[in-house]
Amino acid sequence: MTTSTPESSNIPESINPEQLQELLESAPTKNSAASGPYDGLDREELIQLVKRTLDAFDERCGHPMGQKLMALTILANGIGWHTAAGRDSFDDDNRSGVAWLRDAGKLQSASTLLADVSFGEDDFTNRQN
């Protein structure tokens, strides 16, 4: 929990300040020249960022439900992005909208399959619990 006294930081006590500093130092800045196709990151930088992010997440919550919920959230983002791209393509009279919407359906199927995998009786994402 964070505190609001002027002398304290706004970092929750559960976050390791050294890890946070390492993530900040290795994160690309918006002002830096884009060197890669992934928001300025190249393939290897992106892979390393994902690994560091998951490692930091696992330090805070090592329960498999954390990663399941993260994956479901990422899939939901993908569904939203593909649906919006499909809708926008149709608005622009571009026939690629069908492909975008089909891919949104694939992501929705993946989300349903993952949600149906039980991670125990406390799995609030599983309809059978």
Instruction: In whole angstroms, give the CA distance from residue 40 to residue 57.
Output: 23
Looking at the fold, whether 56 and 82 belong to one and the same domain comes out as no
List C-alpha distances in Å: 106 to 69, 98, 103.
18, 12, 5
Range of the domain at 25: 1-60
List C-alpha distances in Å: 4 to 7, 38, 77, 99.
8, 36, 33, 49
Task: Kindly state the tokens that stand for 124.
Answer: 């609030």
Q: Which residue has the higher pLDDT, 47 or 22?
A: 47
Above 90 in pLDDT, residue 33?
A: no
Looking at the fold, whether 21 and 78 belong to one and the same domain comes out as no
Looking at the fold, whether 56 and 41 belong to one and the same domain comes out as yes
Last residue of a domain, one of 60, 75, 96: 60
Looking at the fold, whether 47 and 6 belong to one and the same domain comes out as yes
Name residue, tokens 């949600």.
115
Task: Kindly state the tokens that stand for 99.
Answer: 């492909």
Looking at the fold, whether 109 and 82 belong to one and the same domain comes out as yes
Which pTM does this prediction carry?
0.69
Q: Which residue has the higher pLDDT, 72 or 33?
A: 72
